[in-house]
Amino acid sequence: MDAEAAVIEFLGCVPLLQRLPGSSLKKIAEVVLVKRYDGGEYIVCEGERGDGVYFIWEGEAEVFRSITGDEESHTEFQLKCYDYFGYSTSTYIHHANVIALSKLTCLVLPHEHCSLLQKKSIWSTDKSLETCLSMESILNLEPIEVDIFQGINLPDAPKSERVFGGLLIGQALAAASKTVDFLKVVHGLHAYFLIGGDFDEPFIYEVHRLRDGKSFATRRVDAIQKGNMIFTLLASFQKEEEGFDHQEATMPAVPPPGMLWPMEEVHESFLTNPLLPRTYRNMVATGKYIPWPIEIRFCEPSTSTYGIKSPPSLRYWLRAKDKLSDDQALHRCVVAYASDLIFLNVSLNPHRRKGLETISASLNHSMWFHRSVRADDWICFVIYSPVANNARGFVSGQMFDRKGELLVSLTQEGLIRKDRSPNPPVTSKL
């Protein structure tokens, strides 16, 4: 590993910096100074201004105040690898001494470059969290500790009967991506949904560093809620490199997205569609419609709403509704988020009939990224369900760009059951 890559990998482990986008880490890596100290040597002295913000790379240090009067000298606390101290401006002075306990190496971010530490979206250097776009807000995480992040389900985000699986996939992948040097991007992931989550509670993502190699890195992410593991994801990351190239998969002939109805217009059509029961149309009319941050355009009319049996396949175009920051990790997280939309339900198509109520839940989900993706440009999602059995449906999918290049292959298995909930008893209105 070269020196710059080693610095970037170290900086990605510092909790203060895990909230920053990869472009900021790269800039910080270019301007930090390497300083080395012997055991017993002062790094900063009380009353001095110091050189900037210090990040401990190797060794340990202790913090203590100068002795005044009859007070006894004592150590305030110790600093270890990934700890940091100092001030971002030269106008502040240090109120304690920091001394090396052994041979110590620090990376120092000089005062004139400390504006790079300003907290913004984890995806963009140009947007604050308050002004970043919807998908970036959904996938934004708060670093809690080294390799521990917190995510939430935004209050104004669309909701279904349970926590959306794509939210867990996207946020967990974002957490894993923040612990890998930005030169590596995810190429494959496998996720398992263990128990249902709670909309109103934050998600804690614990990242486990399984391997860091020259070309590949592997991470496991566990999502914790109320002390219980509700989801786990295993992801592999790779540096871009030249290699063999072929593609046998062919994108089917589908209408271009500009010729198809947006989901908002499809939703409006439900209000007056005579093929739908009046009770359903009334529910659509009176319910609050919260659009997804992903734009969807079906290539052929969906019959699932009508309770009509159809082949186990579906094709639609998707893209993020807003322009995204230019970060490949973000685009892959957005695609991971969107990949769980209307995926498993395709396995129910051959079994639909009027009046049939079903329960479905994702069990596991796998993705392979073959090429770079732009999640804010149109992607054709081709879905097919080859089998359903033993209360489990299985679906496979392919995502193509508008040129017909295969971007992503994916599979999912999920629980599909008839809803056997008892009907509520009929009570007299008299």
Q: In percent, how much of the chain has pLDDT > 90?
A: 50
Q: Is 78 a catalytic residue?
A: no
| Distance, CA of 408 to CA of 187 (rounded, Å) | 9
Checking if the pLDDT of 385 tops 90, the result is yes
Identity of the amino acid at 261: W
Per-residue pLDDT of 137-180, as tens digits, reads 899 898 888 899 999 887 766 666 678 999 999 999 999 999 98
Q: Mean pLDDT of all residues in the chain?
A: 85
The residue count of the chain comes to: 430
412 noted as active-site residue: yes
Class of 260-418 in CATH: alpha beta
Neighbours of 267 (CB within 10 A): 13
Question: Active site includes 23?
Answer: no
Statement: residue 181 has pLDDT above 90: no
Instruction: Detail the DSSP E strand segments found in 59-96.
Output: 61-64, 75-79, 84-86
CA distance 284 to 251: 34
Provide CB contacts within 8 A for 230, sequence distance 6+.
168, 193, 194, 195, 196, 197, 203, 223, 224
CA pair distance 345, 45, nearest whole angstrom = 64
pLDDT for the residue numbered 217: 94
| 95 pLDDT above the threshold of 90 | no
Active-site residue (options: 137, 225, 398, 412): 412
List all residues 6 or more positions away from 97 whose beta carbon is below 8 Å from its beta carbon.
Answer: 42, 44, 45, 46, 63, 64, 65, 66
What integer is the mean pLDDT of 55-76?
75
Q: What is the identity of the amino acid at 323?
A: K
More confident residue, 161 or 115: 115
pLDDT of residue 380: 97
pLDDT tens digits along 30-40: 999 999 999 99
Domain range annotation of the chain = 32-119, 260-418
User: Which entry of 181, 327, 340, 376 is annotated as an active-site residue?
Assistant: 340
Average pLDDT (259-284) is 65
201 phi, psi to nearest 5 deg: -110, 145
Judged against a pLDDT cut of 60, whether residue 187 lies above it is answered with yes
Handedness of CA 262, 154, 137, 382 (dihedral sign): negative
For the cut 70, the answer to whether the pLDDT of residue 130 exceeds it is no
Please tell me the pTM assigned to this model.
Answer: 0.80
pLDDT more than 70, % of the chain: 81
Report the Cα 125 to chain-centroid distance in Å.
17
The tens digit of pLDDT for each residue in 296-344 reads 999 987 655 556 788 999 999 999 998 888 889 999 999 999 999 989 9
pLDDT at 305: 56
Q: At what angle do helices 22-31 and 3-11 cross, to 10 degrees?
A: 120
Q: Rounded to whole angstroms, how far apart are CA atoms 334 and 325?
A: 11
The pLDDT of residue 303 is 57
Give the closest residue to 43 by CA, choosing from 90, 130, 121, 105. 105
Q: Which of 121, 362, 385, 398 is catalytic?
A: 362
**99 pLDDT above the threshold of 70:** yes
Instruction: Kindly give the pairing relationship between strand 406-418 and strand 392-400.
Output: antiparallel
* Homologous superfamily of 32-119: Jelly Rolls (2.60.120.10)
